[in-house]
Amino acid sequence: KKHQYLPRNELVIRLQPNESVYMRTNVKAPGLMTQPVQNELDLTYKTRYGNVDNPSAYSRLILEVLRGNQGAFVRKDELHRAWEIFTPLLQELEQKKVKPVTYEYGGRGPKEADELATRVGYDPATLKLRLKAGPRDNRQGGQYTEQEFAAYVDKLQKEEVTPAEADAEHKK
């Protein structure tokens, strides 16, 4: 069972900082073998559009007000329904003195999120690889050059390494 490691598919929508949408998916490697590899579709705003001026959210809202467009604003009935849903939840949080879980700014999130993922069946080895890689902005995001990818697939097909070992070797 050499090839048990298989990272999960991910869809990430990042609002701030470094606005981006990226998706990692497992696909069959090119060639005759059926070895899965992970690919990434990446739309990082700065990479795609460079230094094009991106107005702030408030600037866009003010423009919508001037145009008379109410679509970006909450109606009274929506607000009342939100209160009906969230007021009991907020009261319970207040009564039970629930404290928010903190984590390091710019990190991958609280360790409790990883513990939850493990409890629901996500492979802890994959979590360790993700944590070792660090925040996405500080790494390549699994991107290989054409030559690196060909070598990666070749090693997998010859069963010289597992996908996890190949990824770790690439990150050195």
Whether pTM exceeds 0.85 = no
Least confident of 25-34, 86-95, 130-139, 162-171: 130-139
* pLDDT computed for residue 9 by the predictor: 83
What residues are paired with 38 via a beta bridge? 26
Q: For the chain, give every domain's residue range.
A: 10-171
The rounded distance, in Å, linking the Cα atoms of 86 and 96 is: 15
In tens, the pLDDT along 37-47 reads 888 888 888 88
Mean pLDDT over 132-145 rounds to 50
The rounded distance, in Å, linking the Cα atoms of 146 and 78 is: 51
Closest CA to 157 of 69, 32, 2: 32
| Residue 170 contacts residue 144 (beta carbons within 8 Å) | yes
CA angle 20, 68, 64 (to 5 degrees): 20
The rounded distance, in Å, linking the Cα atoms of 133 and 171 is: 8
Confidence of residue 19 (pLDDT cuts 50, 70, 90): confident
Closest CA to 17 of 65, 66, 54: 54
